[in-house]
Amino acid sequence: MPNIKSAIKRTKTNEKRRQQRMTQKSAMRTSVKKFLTAVEQQEKEQATVLLVDAKRKLDKGVTKGLIHKNAAARKKSRLEQQLNALNG
């Protein structure tokens, strides 16, 4: 544990930000998993709605620095391909 006042504050803020990032990243992953579950169960209408939410969460993850923009683009593309395959 640090003794210097600024170092104490830094450790507190780092932990607080880490917790926030974990929550946001978890929400991002959950939205993608919900979409994949809907695709797996052949629910076209629900999958379409969940895709919009998943894409939104991925874009938010990019702006907040959780994932790289190309990684988000790749994931969104793959999700779109799965929805298109479901619609046939």
What's the rounded Cα separation, in Å, for the pair 88 and 59? Answer: 26
pLDDT by position in tens, the chain (length 88): 899 999 999 999 999 999 999 999 999 999 999 999 999 999 999 999 999 999 999 999 999 999 999 999 999 999 999 999 988 7
List the chain domain ranges.
Answer: 5-87
The answer to whether residues 50 and 34 touch, using CB atoms and an 8 Å cutoff, is yes
| 22 vs 76: CA distance, rounded Å | 21
Which of these CATH numbers, 1.20.120.330, 1.10.10.10, 1.20.58.110, 3.40.50.720, describes 5-87? 1.20.58.110
User: Contact 79/32 with Cβ under 8 angstroms?
Assistant: yes
pLDDT value of residue 88:
74
Q: Tell me what pLDDT residue 87 has.
A: 84
pLDDT of residue 56: 97
Res 78: pLDDT? 97
DSSP H or E run through 77: helix 69-87
Handedness of CA 13, 19, 23, 28 (dihedral sign): positive
pLDDT at 77: 98
